[in-house]
């Protein structure tokens, strides 16, 4: 049997991995001749350049980075939770895990959604991967906060 907290932590690991892929790739936004990531852009010819966002895109970059950092912290906390038997009965630690998963997932998702509405660029696959990671991490936080129950595994 798998408990809801174990399922939530497993989902968070997957959500963090998706967010990591989304953050490090250069395909958040695209235009006719270039692809832009959060920090670096590349022309279709192969040459790359540093990206300096402004306005809503700067907010997109900031929220996505804050969400990623929170998910990194909570993933480390979840690994410690799985390794240390004494933490498994600590209600505050479980609440902190769930709250950080929800907050990190929400920030990541909101950051990605800010990249959707711009007129100069169209969203690309990295943005979708990061947004999916944010949604999965949000759901994992809810699972962690649910009172510990066993779920059947088939």
132 in any annotated domain: yes
154 in any annotated domain: no
Residue ranges making up the domain that contains 94: 2-147
In total, how many domains does the chain have? 1
Residue 153 has pLDDT above 70, yes or no: no
Q: What is the CATH number of the domain that holds 77?
A: 1.20.140.150
Q: What is the pLDDT of residues 49-96, one digit of tens each?
A: 998 888 888 888 999 999 999 999 999 999 999 899 888 888 899 999
Contacts of 81 (CB under 8 A, 6+ apart): 9, 87, 88, 93, 94, 97
Looking up tokens 């990531």 gives 37
pLDDT of residue 120: 76
Q: Cα 74 to chain center, whole Å?
A: 11
100 in any annotated domain: yes
Q: What is the pLDDT of residues 20-43, one digit of tens each?
A: 999 999 888 888 888 889 899 999
Reported as half-sphere exposure (CB side, CA atoms, 13 A), residue 11 has a value of 24
């Amino acid at each position: 049997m798998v408990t809801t907290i174990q399922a939530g932590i497993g989902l968070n690991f997957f959500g963090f991995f998706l967010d990591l892929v989304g953050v490090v790739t250069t395909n958040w936004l695209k235009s006719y001749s270039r692809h832009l990531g959060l920090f670096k852009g590349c022309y279709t010819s192969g040459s790359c350049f540093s990206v300096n966002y402004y306005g809503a895109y700067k907010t997109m970059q900031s929220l996505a980075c804050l969400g990623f950092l929170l998910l990194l912290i909570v993933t480390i906390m979840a690994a410690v939770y799985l390794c240390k038997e004494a933490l498994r009965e600590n209600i505050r630690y479980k609440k902190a895990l769930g709250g950080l998963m929800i907050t990190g997932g929400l920030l990541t998702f909101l950051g990605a959604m800010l990249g959707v509405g711009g007129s100069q660029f169209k969203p690309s696959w990295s943005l979708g991967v990061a947004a999916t990671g944010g949604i999965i991490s949000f759901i994992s936080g809810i699972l962690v906060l649910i009172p510990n129950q066993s779920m059947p595994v088939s």
